[in-house]
């Protein structure tokens, strides 16, 4: 069985028998299984033409859904079991989420055409006799999607939620604000999107490229768009983590509201939304007025992302240049008032303020690993991006950690060393490299290792101008990542990459049926290349930091 991610236990029938479905199978959805039943009727119904009517009393349905939270599940609340035999298929979940992941496995077993949006003429359907028992290694299995640098319209985000769910990934981290754009409507501060949501042009390629795309770029999600995205994700057991950057990566907000910046050293009224890549010096001023402004932003964010589906709120906290604070008399006076350790202490003060503010409202702060500098409040969690060191330090100090080191799982990095790779960024990270990524560093103590919530692959979009470019960079490597965070694997060097490649041969057909513009194993197609557009390739193996 070519299942991805690989299940814990998969026992196919030795004789290769299959259960054939008739033209209109019946569905028996037990108590509490309504979400999975709706998904099966909608998604499988589109591909097969099945209506999946409810089973009559006493009849045996070809598809049966059950919840068994009190069963002998030793693989956690997201575990499931599938049994396929002469009377059809029975899916049992330890929870609604587990049952949903079982439904994803069932879809894979039906074949690539089960991912289509309309039935193919003459297509018949069957399942192999088998038993599958499965559950994930990690509870946080995510992807960060940067919609600030290049905006992805709402339908594209919904599509990516479906793609995450198809691979049993359960976190979508949405990077909603940055220097180059503000993508979420805030009612009390309308200029954040009216002004901050648009830039006049964009650098074409890496920031060293001399080329420009002179087309104005922008867009944002209305509050109803966000509610739809969150609800759509929740129905697929995907949590959405919003990121609102403070105190750096804030030029779009300052362009909209100049009083947010360091007005005593910069003419902030002359600033626009940044049209280049990299790190700008324009950061938030360390004032009480700025805190009140962002508290208002976060109040609306919390209403849009309910705690039951979005317990974490990401505040960025990374790459905050200190030059303006050093030059600002107001910032220096603030340092003296607060008694903090210079400009680094000022950044820590920003993060600690919002940690306490979010905690008081039943949420948990998470930020990039720079938030460790200057000390971190007890309940805060860390996204370890600069390598593993930040995650190790955070976990050993008792903080929860999501591992996302740029050297391993930044999917904007190039996939091969050939000259045809479009806008090549960073180190070569092949499908095999991602498959051999290990989220738990071996040097962690057992107690600290338990603090690793999981991992996520990060998708920064400076050189990904549209959905096809995102697809090309993300797939097929996200498939390998999904197996890393779901399946219980041996040590990286002992993993069966050849076996994974064999299963990928079938999985490429599933991706194609879903319309994913993935990178072919043999290299980019002519239309996927970007000749003459500079990237920033880095040679050699990435450092282990």
Q: What angle do CA 373, 378, 384 make, to 5 degrees?
A: 50
Residues 319, 341, 344, 420: which is the catalytic one? 319
| Three-class SS state of 171 | strand
Q: What percent of the chain has pLDDT over 70?
A: 99
Q: What is the pLDDT of residue 377?
A: 75
* pLDDT tens digits, 377-391: 778 999 999 999 999
Residue 457 is inside which H or E element, if any?
strand 452-459
User: pTM higher than 0.85 for the full model?
Assistant: yes
d(CA 398, CA 378): 8
Q: Which of the following is catalytic: 150, 173, 249, 413?
A: 249
d(C-alpha 449, C-alpha 426), whole Å: 28
Q: What is the pLDDT of residue 422?
A: 97
To the query of whether residue 494 is one of the catalytic residues in this protein, the response is: no
Based on the residue annotation, tell me whether 179 is a catalytic residue of this protein.
no
Structure tokens at 19: 């259960």
Active-site option among 146, 178, 400, 406 = 178
Q: How far is CA 386 from CA 82, 126, 208, 369, 530, in A?
A: 40, 47, 22, 7, 28
Q: What does the DSSP 8-state code read for residue 300? A: H
Q: What is the pLDDT of residues 423-477, one digit of tens each?
A: 999 999 999 999 999 999 999 999 999 999 999 999 999 999 999 999 999 999 9
Asked about 420 being catalytic, the answer comes back as no
Residue 328 pLDDT > 60, yes or no? Answer: yes
Q: What is the pLDDT of residues 58-107, one digit of tens each?
A: 889 999 999 999 865 667 899 999 999 999 999 999 999 999 999 999 99
Q: Please state the separation of Cα 147 from the chain's center in Å.
A: 11
Q: Across-strand partners of 144? A: 173, 458
Q: Where are the beta strands (DSSP E) in 276-380?
A: 312-316, 364-368
Q: Are 315 and 365 in contact (CB under 8 A)?
A: yes
Residues 173-187 have a mean pLDDT of 98
**Residue 144: burial class (beta carbons within 10 Å; 0-12, 13-18, 19+):** buried
The answer to whether the beta carbons of residues 39 and 100 sit under 8 Å apart is yes
H/E segment holding residue 407 = helix 406-409
Give the whole-angstrom CA distance, residue 446 versus residue 365: 24
Give dist(CA 195, CA 197) in Å, integer. 6
Task: Taking residues 145-164, report their average pLDDT.
Answer: 98
Q: How far apart are CA 482 and CA 500, in angstroms?
A: 12
Please state at what angle helix 477-486 crosses helix 467-474, rounded to 10 degrees.
50
**Count of other CB atoms within 10 angstroms of residue 123:** 13
Contacts with 520 (C-beta within 8 Å, 6 or more apart), sequence order: none
Going from the C-alpha of 97 to that of each of 79, 83, 160, 244, 319, the distances in angstroms are: 8, 18, 18, 28, 36
Q: What is the pLDDT of residue 378?
A: 79
């Amino acid at each position: 069985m070519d299942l991805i991610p690989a299940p814990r236990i998969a026992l196919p029938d030795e004789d290769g028998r299959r259960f054939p479905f008739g033209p209109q199978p019946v569905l028996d959805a037990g108590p509490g299984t309504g979400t999975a039943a709706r998904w099966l009727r909608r998604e499988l119904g589109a591909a097969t033409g099945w209506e999946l009517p409810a089973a009559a009393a006493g009849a045996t349905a070809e598809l049966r859904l059950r919840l068994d939270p009190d069963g002998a599940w030793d693989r956690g609340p997201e575990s499931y079991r599938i049994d396929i035999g002469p009377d059809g298929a029975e899916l049992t979940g330890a929870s609604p989420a587990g049952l949903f992941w079982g439904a994803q496995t069932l879809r894979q077993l039906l074949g690539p055409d089960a991912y289509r949006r309309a039935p193919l003429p003459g297509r018949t359907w069957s399942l192999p006799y088998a038993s599958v028992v499965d559950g994930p290694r990690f509870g946080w299995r995510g992807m960060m999607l940067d919609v600030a640098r290049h905006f992805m319209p709402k339908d594209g985000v919904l599509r990516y939620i479906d793609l995450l769910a198809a691979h049993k990934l359960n976190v979508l981290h949405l990077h909603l604000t940055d220097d180059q754009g503000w993508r979420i409507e805030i009612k009390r501060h309308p200029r954040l999107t009216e002004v901050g949501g648009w830039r006049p042009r964009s650098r074409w390629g890496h920031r060293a490229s001399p080329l420009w795309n002179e087309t104005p770029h922008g867009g944002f999600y209305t509050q109803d768009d966000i509610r739809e995205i969150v609800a759509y994700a929740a129905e697929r057991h995907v949590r959405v983590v919003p990121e609102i950057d403070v105190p750096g990566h804030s030029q779009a907000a300052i362009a909209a509201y100049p009083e947010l910046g360091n007005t005593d050293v910069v003419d902030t009224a002359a600033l626009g939304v940044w049209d280049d890549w990299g790190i700008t010096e324009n950061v938030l001023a360390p004032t009480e007025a700025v805190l009140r402004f962002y508290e208002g932003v976060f109040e609306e964010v919390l209403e849009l992302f309910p705690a039951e589906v979005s317990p974490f709120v990401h505040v960025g906290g990374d790459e905050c240049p200190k030059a303006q604070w050093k030059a600002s008399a107001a910032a220096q006076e603030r340092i003296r008032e607060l008694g903090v350790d210079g400009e680094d202490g000022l950044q820590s003060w920003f993060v600690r303020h919002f940690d306490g503010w979010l905690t008081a409202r039943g949420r948990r702060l998470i930020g990039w690993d720079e938030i460790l500098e200057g000390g971190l409040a007890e309940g805060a969690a860390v996204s370890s991006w600069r390598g593993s060191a930040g995650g190790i330090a955070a976990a050993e100090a008792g903080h929860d950690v999501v591992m996302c080191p740029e050297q391993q799982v930044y999917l904007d990095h190039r996939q091969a060393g050939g000259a045809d790779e479009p806008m090549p960024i960073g180190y070569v990270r092949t499908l095999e490299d991602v498959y051999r990524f290990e989220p738990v560093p071996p040097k962690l103590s057992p107690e600290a290792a338990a603090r690793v919530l999981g991992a996520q692959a990060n998708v920064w979009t400076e050189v990904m101008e549209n959905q096809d470019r995102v697809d090309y960079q993300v797939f097929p490597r996200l498939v390998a990542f999904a197996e890393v965070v779901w399946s219980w694997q041996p040590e990286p060097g002992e993993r069966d990459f050849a076996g994974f490649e064999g299963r990928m041969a079938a999985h490429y057909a599933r991706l194609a049926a879903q319309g994913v513009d993935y990178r072919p194993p043999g290299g980019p197609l002519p239309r996927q290349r970007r000749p003459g557009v500079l990237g920033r390739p880095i040679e050699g193996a990435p450092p282990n930091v």
